Amino acid sequence: MEYRWPYKNETGEEERISCDVLVLGGGMAGCYAAIAAARRGASVVLMEKGATVRSGSAGSGFDHWETACTNPGSRVTPEEIAEAFIDEQGGYSNGIAQYICCREGWDRLLDMESFGGKIRDTEDEFAGADFRDDETKLMYAYDYRNRYTLRVWGTTFKPALRKELSRLGVKVYDYTEATGLLTSVVNGRKTNTGAMGMNVRTGKMLIVSAKETVLAMSRPARIWLFDADLPGLCEFRPPQSIGSGHAMGWRAGAAFTMMEKSVPGEFSAAGRSYPPYSAGNNHNTWYAATMVDARGVEIPYVDRDGRILQSVRERYLPAPGQKFFLKGGVIDEAKYEYRGPETMPFDELIKRGYRTPFYADLSRMPEMERKVIWGMMVGEEGKTRVPVLQNYTERGFDPEKHMLQSYGTGWKSASFLAQERQLFGAPGGIFHDWDLKTNIDGLYAAGDQLFASDCAGFAAATGYYAGRKAAAAAEKVCLTPPDERQIHAEKKRIYAPLCREHGVHWKELNMAIAKAMRNYCGAVKNEELLTEGLSLLDSYKEEIVPALSCDNPHDLVRTHEVLDILTVSRIIIEACRMRKSGAKALYFERTDYPETDPPEDAHFITIRQEDGKVIRGDVPFQYWGGLKEEYEKRNQDYIKRGGK
Amino acid sequence: MGKWTAAAVPCSAEPLIFDEELCIGCNRCMNVCQVDIMIPDPEPGKHPVVLYPGECWYCGSCVMECPRPGAVRLQHPLMNRAKFVPVKG
């Protein structure tokens, strides 16, 4: 059945507005950025492709707030945990952002509570539990001794943030995709002067002149993994979050780093994976569930020394002689120093006669641990409230009577081929200074757009930080009028596929890019493969892009996304060409340069484009200097305001 | 580009099931969906039309937003429903 498009056709119409701070992306990072800027008195506009109330990766929930090292129960310092992350990631970490997260995360949780989000067990549902502090009613996860990761009720967070944005007078443009940045040369320096966007339902263009802009959009996705039947499930994060912020940053000349990093696929529920947290496992949301094998024999947990743990409680404590352990979204198999309790390695289990399939069996756990995994964590995390908790309960699942099957090993629920890759586990992104400012004046970045980004707490903390730095900078500059030539060119670019009656559909191009990336930029790389890949992508740009067509603004937005995916794929290949040796922490291998981690290459490589030329930069590890000292040098105002 | 049309793009799954008796056609599910997979039914009061079921992210925000519990249900593609069995021992 064919429908008439239900919204007005507003292509050719435009709205022009101006503000002090423009935030692109209304997820966790963007909302906090807008709140920080508005609190400082800035006029703020926020552009969001979906509806801010539930948009972004954490829109429907999240359960762990990591590295809130300054919470009242914490027994670690921000310096200890940030340094541990940097060391764990072999130097390829974001020290500035990690430190902000460790230092200010708790302040953002207090903000959240003041907005109406739930961060404590106020109903005493878990009174007396090992993981709960009965005085503050805060609930901890992973390391119960050091208490720096909090269990939170993330389903309440986005609606609370949305309400606070309204209260502060932030002008929110929902269902408006940001398509491009505006730049000018001011005092001899390239400067961001705002951005352009398009209403995803009517096609109306929005042009925002801003003194400062914060990029708070997603990390790239659908680069190697695409499924035309279920495109919504190709990746872990929402399907419309594909790295448009990276693409427009690149077009404007922003520098990136670590873009050569990609990891073997972890999730694609359009194929072999099950939806995150919906199958039996003992990681993350499900940590530290009791696992059993096909015979019903319990699978042992071991500490970092291989010592078999006797009780459930020990799964949440550091090993003898270990101060703390690291667990969380970007920690896979931690180094010995930071390794926490884990089930015995899979190969060892098979050797010892354990039989697949394995199951998560919560019935064997103490009541509070069972209830907190199935009911709170599964219920508050990401896409679990309705899709897992509610649906599985309706199907008859009872955690006291049933065990849930595990597929593959660990939390991934499937094994992917080496060339089926994703930007996951602290991937590359925008390179920045201590203000989270990019190399372009007036342009900041936060959350998933930063290099080596982490989870929702990271997004909140860096978003707020970027927002307040942007607001402070806005006090010192005047608005620059937008460059009309850029607006004209952008209109031509974004509407072109609507003007063609017959042509190539976005899915066909996304399919082709993903196959090209698997073939030419898979697990093992060399110069010939990479340049062949680049030449194939170039041919798509020259021959296919001008032939793209679509019937309505919804398809147009999807088409814009694939244009951005093409841009990001090119950044990735160019970045891969620059690193001429293997790097273990980047999951990066080259057959033509087989040496791994030679000292001369142990540093960040940055990449940007200027006038169509790709430009390389080399930046040493730890370019941020001493974390505490450098942070305090720049944030006395924040410290004096008591974390506001 | 004056006249836009849209036809439902079928896929192998059916993520959203509406109960026509319960649904009041308020379109709140449609307006909370960050992937924007629905459009309003041309007939006011009816549940929205899922034009792009394949683009569903299965987050369940539509169900959480619904003022009439049960009016919209989310179901995983059949292949994505994990198996569970009675506990052993």
Q: Which residue of B has its CA nearest to A26?
A: B34
> Which residue does chain A place closest to B89, by CA atoms?
A296
What is the reported pLDDT for A603? 98
The model's pLDDT over A96-119, given as tens digits with 9 standing for 90+, comes to 999 999 999 999 999 999 999 999
Report pLDDT for A134: 97
CA end-to-end distance (rounded Å), chain B: 66
Say if A386 is an interface residue toward chain B (CB within 8 Å).
yes
Task: Give me A212's structure tokens.
Answer: 């400062």
Q: Which residue of B has its CA nearest to A293?
A: B88
Minimal C-alpha gap between B39 and chain A (Å) = 7
Query: What is the model's pLDDT at position A321?
Result: 96
pLDDT of residue A255 exceeding 60, the answer is yes
What pLDDT was estimated at residue A272? 85
DSSP-assigned states of every residue in A504-564: B-HHHHHHHHHHHHHHHSSSEE-HHHHHHHHHHHHHIIIIIGGGB--SSHHHHHHHHHHHH
* Domain regions of chain A by residue span: 284-324+340-405, 485-619
Q: How far is CA A468 from the centre of its chain?
A: 21
Size of interface A-B (CB pairs under 8 A): 174
Instruction: Indicate whether B67 belongs to any domain.
Output: yes
pLDDT surpasses 80 at A80: yes
Residues A559-612: tens digit of each pLDDT? 999 999 999 999 999 999 999 999 999 999 999 999 999 999 999 999 999 999
Confirm or reject contact between A202 and chain B (CB < 8 A): no
Query: In the predicted model, what is the mean pLDDT of chain A?
Result: 96
* A581 close to B (CB below 8 A): no
- Whether residue B41 lies inside any domain: the answer is yes
B28 touches chain A (CB under 8 A): no
Looking at the predicted structure, is the pLDDT value of residue B1 above 60? no
Contact A238, B33 (CB under 8 A): no
- Give the Cα separation of A30 and A397 in Å (integer): 37
Chain B residue with minimal CA distance to A229? B11
Pairing of β A14-24 and β A359-360? unpaired
Q: What is the pLDDT of residue A53?
A: 98
Q: What is the pLDDT of residues B5-27, one digit of tens each?
A: 899 999 999 999 999 999 999 99
- Which of B3, B64, B86 minimises the CB distance to A386? B64
pLDDT of B83:
96
**How many CB atoms sit inside 10 A of residue A333's CB?**
8
Q: Which of A437, A446, A510, A450 is nearest to A477 (CA)?
A: A437
Q: Which of A49, A54, A240 shows the shortest C-beta gap to B32?
A: A54
DSSP H helices, A117-243, are 157-167
User: pLDDT for B25-66, tens place per residue?
Assistant: 999 999 999 999 999 999 999 999 999 999 999 999 999 999
A274/B82 CB distance under 8 A:
yes
Residue B83 in domain = no
As a residue count, chain A comes to: 644
Stretch A285-298: mean pLDDT? 96
Q: Let me know if residue B60 belongs to a domain.
A: yes
- Do the chains contact at A230 and B13, CB–CB below 8 Å? yes
Q: For the domain that residue B20 is a member of, what is the CATH number?
A: 3.30.70.20
Given this model, what pLDDT does residue A499 score? 86
What does the pLDDT read at residue A411? 63
Torsion of CA A419, A421, A425, A428, to 10 degrees: 100
Here the tokens at position A412 are 């991934």
Using DSSP's 3-state secondary structure scheme, residue A83 falls into: helix
Identify the domain containing residue B42 by its residue range: 16-78
Predicted local distance difference test score (pLDDT) of residue A219: 97
User: Is position B25 within any domain?
Assistant: yes
Mean pLDDT across A401-419: 87
Residue A205 in this model has a pLDDT that exceeds 80: yes
Q: Is residue B85 part of a domain?
A: no
Q: What local confidence, expressed as pLDDT, does residue B2 receive? A: 61
CB-based contact, A167 to chain B, within 8 Å: no
Which tens digits make up the pLDDT trace of A369-390? 999 999 999 999 999 999 999 9
Mean pLDDT of A502-511: 97
pLDDT digits (tens, 9 = 90+) for A314-350: 999 999 999 999 998 788 789 999 999 999 999 999 9
Band of residue B87 on the pLDDT scale cut at 50, 70, 90: very high
Q: Which residues of B touch A281 (CB under 8 A)?
A: none
Q: How far is CA A96 from CA A17, A102, A335, A444, B6, in A?
A: 33, 10, 22, 14, 47
CA pseudo-torsion sign A141, A25, A23, A244: positive
Average pLDDT over residues A31-38: 98
Q: With bands split at pLDDT 50, 70 and 90, how would you rate the model's confidence at A637? A: very high
CB A416 within 8 A of CB A424: no
CA of A447 vs chain B CAs: smallest distance (Å): 18
**B89: pLDDT strictly greater than 90:** no
Instruction: Quote ipTM for the complex.
Output: 0.97
No. of helices (H) and no. of strands (E), chain A: 16, 23
User: Band of the pLDDT at A410, cuts 50, 70, 90?
Assistant: low
**Per-residue pLDDT tens digits for A114-137:** 999 999 999 999 999 999 999 999
The answer to the question of residue B33 being in a domain is yes
Which of B11, B35, B74 has its CA nearest to residue A239? Answer: B35
The string of pLDDT tens digits covering residues A64-74 is: 999 999 999 99
Q: How many domains does chain B have?
A: 1
pLDDT average, residue stretch B67-77: 97
Q: Which helix (H) or strand (E) holds A177?
A: strand A176-186
**Residue of chain B nearest A391, judged by CA positions:** B75
CATH entry 3.30.200.20 includes domain A485-619: no
Whether residue B34 and residue A553 make contact (CB cut-off 8 A), yes or no, is: no
